Structure 1
Amino acid sequence: MEWDRQRGTEGMTPSETRQRGNRWTLLICVGAILLFIGLGIAVISGVLDHRYFGGAPVERSLVFALLINAVLVYVGWRRHRAVEIEMHGRSAAEERARMLALRDPLTGFLNRRALSEAGAALLGAASRRDQAVALMIVDLDHFKMVNDMHGHDTGDAVLRAVAQAIAGVMPAAALTARFGGDAFACAFVFDARDPSTADHVASRVIAALSQPIEIDDLRIHLTSSIGVARSDFDGAGIDTLLRSADIAMYCAKKSGRGGITWFNRAMEHALIDRNDIENGLRLAIPAGQIVPYFEPQIDLTTGRLCGFEVLARWIHPTQGVIPPDRFIPVAEESGLIAELSLSIMRQAFAAARDWDPTLSLSVNISPTQLRDAWLAQKIIKATVEGGFAPNRLEIEITESALFDNLALAQSIVGSLKNQGVRLALDDFGTGYSSLAHLRALPFDRIKIDKSFVLSLLDNADSAAIVNAIIGLGANLNLPVTAEGVETDTIAERLAALGCAKAQGWNYGKPLSIADTRRMLAARGLLHTGTTDPDLSDLTIRRQVG
């Protein structure tokens, strides 16, 4: 056997070495005690014989030997007890270390490492019995609010109660784990021919965690989202199952929280596509691949072109034009929307600097951007760098953008209004459509969502809503723009109702910078008629990118 320096003796751990040494100490103590008994009997017999029967006195060497032996017995016994106490303490410490290595100290559930090991064994056992393993990821919804409102001690108590509730509804031999935070995992064997068993267990977890949790004088209500994966469909390995269940859990949260979602391959493909989009955006924005397109806006009274709404398009080098509904949500989730929006604005302002000054630009601002206290300064800086007059700019915001921080939004809008920028309330009618929001900010225009405009002629409710919004705008002296106008008939109806402006495919699809310049040049609305549109487009993109 190879000598192991770290283990202290040949093939033995430090614990085994201590146990071996303690056994030798115990043997020496036993031998000393036996010797002490023998010497004691001899000394006592000699003393009694000398005192009562006139025998020879006890030899001093025998008495000294007895005393020395007594000291050795005492010292040895003390040493044995000390070693025993030390071993007990070390064993308890080793047991605690083992528990910490395999268990969550707060709930007593398995940790991720232990679940991986036990889960692999569970998968093997299920496979041998022609059964499947269901793995659930359970995540508490909005648990951060519990910590923020009541403190982390209360949060820990809630997590312990949640763990007890989960353990109480799990089938026998199920594995339960906590991954830290408010994420739990459960794995159990079920009959693959009857997946309703797993559904039933998941439903019991949802029901158990929906019950109020009482901590001291607090009564806390929680909901949970669960993602479920099964070994016979979604992966034979425990790590693959964990990943699949985690993807399903996030889909459950996106679907409204408080529900159960089974994993399917479409979720994985969607996740891969989303990650590809995000990674692509991080390269595309500085490379100038995200470019502005311009949707014409028409004055319904005169029929004159009065401006454009600026839209984003991704001109991908291999995939062609990527529509905004694919990359704008990803940009908002990943925090790239502010960089993307400012890039689009810079390009649009630079492109429109030599357009007819009567033409305005409308630009959408996301709720995320309104959390930036320096947004107004960034927008004004972009207009200055692009040579674009701020009074030709109209910023569009939705009602939902006002909920997070109305005071900050008012400050940003106030700074923009001081520079001559106008403000429009976008998609009015789809949100709360509250008059309080119209009073909260100094809006200059209301925009009707296209969902009402498209069904204006076919749906009496949509017609009533459009009529009411236009009437409200007239009463508040706020002109109204209708989005999604696709036919002359709808345009005529809107004009008859008193709508001021319209935009939509009835007036042309959104155009690139080059196509917009050609159109403006043909109408005499471009003040540099000798500039080649394609060359101008390339120059602008170089300036901003």
Structure 2
Amino acid sequence: MTSRPVHRAWTLRCRRAVERCARLFAVPAENPELIRSQSAALSTQIPLLYFILVTNSVALALTHLHSAPAWMTVWTPGALCGFCIVRLVWWRRIRHIEVDTATHLRRLRLTLRLVPVLGVLFTAWGFNLYRYGDAYAQAHVAFYMAITVIGCIFCLMHLRGAALMLAAIVILPFAVFFSLTGNLVFMLMAANLLLVWVAMIFVLLVHYRDFARLVESTVTLRLRQAETQRLSDENFRLANLDSLTGLPNRRAFLAHVDSMAAHASGHHAARARGTRSIVIGLIDLDDFKLVNDAYGHSTGDRVLAEVGRRLLDISTNPVFFARLGGDEFGMLLRENLSTDELMARGRALCRLLQQPYELGELTLRLTASVGFAASPDGPLERPELLFEQADHALYYAKQNARGEPVIFSHAHESERRRMGLIEQALAHADLVRELSVAFQPIVELPSHRILGFEALARWTHERLGQVPPAEFIACAERSNRILQVSEVLLKKALAEARRWPDDTWVSFNLSARDIGSPEATQRIADIVLASGVPPHRIEMEITETALVSDFDVASESLRLLKELGVRIALDDFGTGFSSLTYVQRLPLDKIKIDRSFVSDIVHNATGQSVVKSIVDLCRNLDLDCVVEGAEDEEQVGILHELGCRKMQGYLFGRPMAGDAACALLSRETTIQAA
């Protein structure tokens, strides 16, 4: 009973030994990299093997040319050497040809089959030649077989199975054959070759093992390098990608600008007049901040993601889009476009971004402004200048042509330079001495009684002269000098208001920065408290655009002023994105209807309907309502019919100095007394 398990174990060990032995002589097909490496090594070594066979065989045949028959010295070695030469040429031709792994495997297996065949044929030929010639010729046969097989085994070291088979086919018969000759020299030579054979087998197995490990480690290193490169590429992609929109980010955009500028400078050639080489476009969603305020940041993110999708859909090879931050996007064009073509491209882009944004049950409509700057006919030495020009064109578009493209022009360049001069002058100005305040009356119909004045900023510079408020206020806001400007103007306005009757109030315009932080608002409050003017006679006007930066902070700032007793008015009502939202959420006392509704109200029925709706809204919410821009009697008549009772405009008085305002109030008081 115990013999069966022992027999089964012995059989299993024998089978495993046979399998291990078979693996020594096989070409493993499961390792593609090892197969390719073996084939690459053999493509250099196999031609050398055939060269050794041919040269050594020819030399042996020549030494037996006169002692052996022709079929042994000419025809047999000629046929064998001819085959070797054909194979040598074939290996030389294919060594640089790229093929797949299956082809490499077929080559190795063919070599594995040819080696024993050639080994048997050349060994048999050598043994047959031993019978001919003298002792020197016989020694040459022994030397030929020994040195040739050693050289061929070394040439086959990367194909383990072929080298082992060749060693067994040649060396073992060699040892037996020459041991039986009875010649002591040949017997010792056979013994020496056997020892060399044992050493060669050991070296062969170790070399093949190390070769396989080297290939495996090389593959592992290559995989690690590939993974490292993949991670590096992924990190680079993420570092240059905006995750929300899927567009390249600001970093990638600026790098792309620099790359295009360097390429344009290096390959500049004369171009036709009116065409462009590089165009930078800056895209900004108008009043996007109001979307966040009204519907939350998650809705705003969905809008930005949709903008990114639309821009990606129209991205082409010469057009590059990126998200620069917030709701601002960048555009690069590497095309020769005329001014008309560029404007057409910009209008198409604006129309694309003006299409409704369907966000579930919510549908939003936005406009987008675009500022373009095109490189001049020549190398672009300062890419940042082109970016600044595009930014200025965008600023101009948002101020004067919302929802439309604007191309930076020579006029804009003059304006930009003037703005730079104004900023420099403003930075070194004596604000207390140079700033002044003009006052425009606000009246009540039908009596035309003056209710108050709106304080309007004026700046006279010794070199620039009279600078329009639209210019220097914008510069002050951009350079963060607006806080100082507002403080000086407010103090001067309140100083004049102290001279007015107790029932006459003053209206003052606050900028976004004035209510953009608790510290700035507290300074405004301190000026009000120190002025000596009762807070109920002071009215602070704020526009919707001033609320865009941070609505929550602005709202808290207005509440602080409201608690002092100051009245709050929303200026330019009706021109923004979500005026009704502000009416609902802000501590308002008054709404001022923008002058844009008044300019053509005589012939515009829609404008009349809008004004009537705003007047009714104010009445229902118990808010005062003032209409701006009344300039002729016909306008005033229609506005009065629509329910407007308080107005402001050139018809009732242009902006005037403080003394003129006091004189106007004195005349009114005299008339009323009479």
TM-score using structure 1 length: 0.61
Contact between 2:282 and 2:390, CA under 8 Å: does it hold in 1? no
Pick closer, same or farther for the CA change 1:126–1:201 going to 2, 3 Å. farther
CA distance in 1, matches of 2:584, 2:247: 50
Q: Is contact 2:371–2:391 with CA below 8 Å preserved after alignment?
A: yes
Q: State the match for 1:534 in structure 2.
A: none
Could you tell me how far apart the structure 1 residues matched to 2:363 and 2:444 are? 58
Relative distance call for 1:473 and 1:176 in structure 2 (3 A) is closer
1:510 counterpart residue number: 656
1:162 matches 2:281: no
Match of 1:82 in 2: 217
Q: How far 1:294 moved relative to its partner?
A: 3.9
CA RMSD of aligned residues (A): 6.4
Pair 1:273-2:406 in alignment: no
The 5-angstrom pairing of residues 378-397 of structure 1 reads 378-397=523-542
Shift of 1:345: 1.7
CA-to-partner distance for each residue in 1:81-133, whole Å, 9 max, x for gaps?
53465357547866986898899566689854355445554576672575844
Q: Kindly tell me: are residues 248 and 375 of structure 1, through their superposed partners in 2, closer, same or farther at Cα, counting changes over 3 Å?
A: closer
Return the alpha-carbon distance in structure 1 between the equivalents of residues 155 and 386 of structure 2.
67
**Distance change >3 Å, CA 122–CA 81, structure 1 → 2:** farther
Following the alignment from structure 1 to structure 2, what is the Cα–Cα distance between the partners of residues 361 and 393? 5
Unaligned runs of 5+ in 1: 1-21, 526-545
Distance 1:520 1:156 in 2: 57
- Between the aligned partners of 1:218 and 1:437, the Cα distance in structure 2 is 21
Q: Is the 8 A contact 1:399 1:437 kept in 2?
A: no
Query: 1:313 Cα deviation (Å)?
Result: 1.5
| 1:73-472 to 2 correspondences below 5 Å | 73-79=208-214, 82-83=217-218, 86=221, 90=225, 112-114=254-256, 116-118=258-260, 120-121=262-263, 127=269, 132-139=275-282, 141-142=284-285, 148-149=297-298, 159=308, 162-167=311-316, 174=318, 176=320, 178=322, 182-189=329-336, 226-231=370-375, 239=383, 244-245=389-390, 247-248=392-393, 251-252=396-397, 259-278=404-423, 280-284=425-429, 289-295=434-440, 308-332=453-477, 337-350=482-495, 352-353=497-498, 357=502, 360-366=505-511, 369=514, 378-397=523-542, 416=561, 419-422=564-567, 437=583, 443=589
User: Match of 1:49?
Assistant: 174
Larger Rg: 2
With over 3 angstroms needed to count, the CA separation of the structure-2 counterparts of 1:97 and 1:266, relative to structure 1, is farther
Q: Letter of the 2:657 partner, please give it.
A: L
Does the CA contact (< 8 Å) of 2:441 and 2:652 recur in 1? no
Query: 1:279–1:77: structure 2 CA closer, same or farther, 3 Å change rule?
Result: farther
Rate the CA distance shift 1:428–1:36 in 2: closer, same or farther, 3 A: closer
> Secondary structure, in 3 states, of the residue corresponding to 1:58?
helix
CA distance in 2, matches of 1:161, 1:428: 32
Contact 1:138-1:185 at 8 Å conserved across structures: yes
Residue in structure 2 matching 1:58, options 179, 191, 195: 191
Distance 1:289 1:78, change over 3 A: farther
The question of whether the paired residues in 2 share the 8 Å contact of 1:136 and 1:227 is answered with no
Closer/same/farther in 2, CA of residues 328 and 232 from structure 1, 3 Å limit: closer
Stretch moving more, 68-77 or 134-143: 134-143
Q: How far off its partner does 1:269 sit?
A: 2.6
Question: 1:488 touches 1:506 (CA, 8 Å); kept in 2?
Answer: no
Structure 1 contact 26–80 (Cα < 8 Å) conserved? no
Q: 1:126 to 1:177 in 2, by over 3 A?
A: farther
Measured against aligned partners, the alpha-carbon deviations of 1:419-455 in whole angstroms (never above 9, x if no partner) come to 4444556567888998995998563x77677788999
CA 1:62–1:209 in 2, change beyond 3 Å: closer, same or farther?
farther
| Identity among equivalent pairs (%) | 25
- Residues 487 and 204 (structure 1 numbering): CA distance in 2 closer, same or farther, change over 3 Å? closer
Distance 1:49 1:336, change over 3 A: same
Report if aligned partners of 2:432, 2:488 keep a CA contact under 8 Å in 1.
no
Contact in 1 for aligned 2:283/2:368 (Cα 8 Å): yes
Residue 187 of structure 1, CA deviation: 0.4
Count matched residues.
488
Structure 1 residues 199-234: Cα deviation after superposition (integer angstroms, max 9, x where no partner):
666666667777899999999999765555555569
Query: How far off its partner does 1:391 sit?
Result: 3.7
Q: Which is helix-richer, 1 or 2?
A: 2
Distance 1:107 1:241, change over 3 A: same
Change (3 A) 1:216 1:477: closer
Q: Structure 1 residues 148 and 138 mapped into 2: Cα distance closer, same or farther (>3 Å)?
A: farther
2:460 is paired with a residue whose SS is: strand
In structure 1, the residue matched to 2:66 is none
Q: Decide whether aligned partners of structure 1 residues 112 and 341 sit closer, same or farther in structure 2, where only a CA change above 3 A counts.
A: closer
User: Can you list the C-alpha shifts for 1:333-375, whole angstroms capped at 9, x where unaligned?
Assistant: 6665455333322333345556665654332345665565678
Give the distance between the partners of 1:479 and 1:427, measured in 2 at CA. Answer: 14
In the other structure, the counterpart of 2:70 is: none
Q: Relative to structure 1, is the Cα distance of residues 124 and 340 closer, same or farther in structure 2, using a 3 angstrom cutoff? A: same
Which of 80-89 and 265-274 deviates more?
Answer: 80-89
Q: Report the secondary structure of 2:457's partner residue.
A: strand
Match of 1:68 in 2: 203
Q: Matches of 1:358 and 1:220 in 2, distance apart?
A: 44
Counterparts in 2 of 1:26 and 1:123: CA distance versus 1, 3 Å: same
Q: CA deviation at 1:26?
A: 7.2
Out of 432-441 and 241-250, give the one that drifted further.
Answer: 432-441
- Structure 2: segments with no counterpart, 5+ residues: 1-36, 49-150, 158-162, 181-186, 670-674
Q: Tell me, what secondary structure is at the counterpart of 2:507?
A: strand
User: Which residue is 1:8 aligned to?
Assistant: none
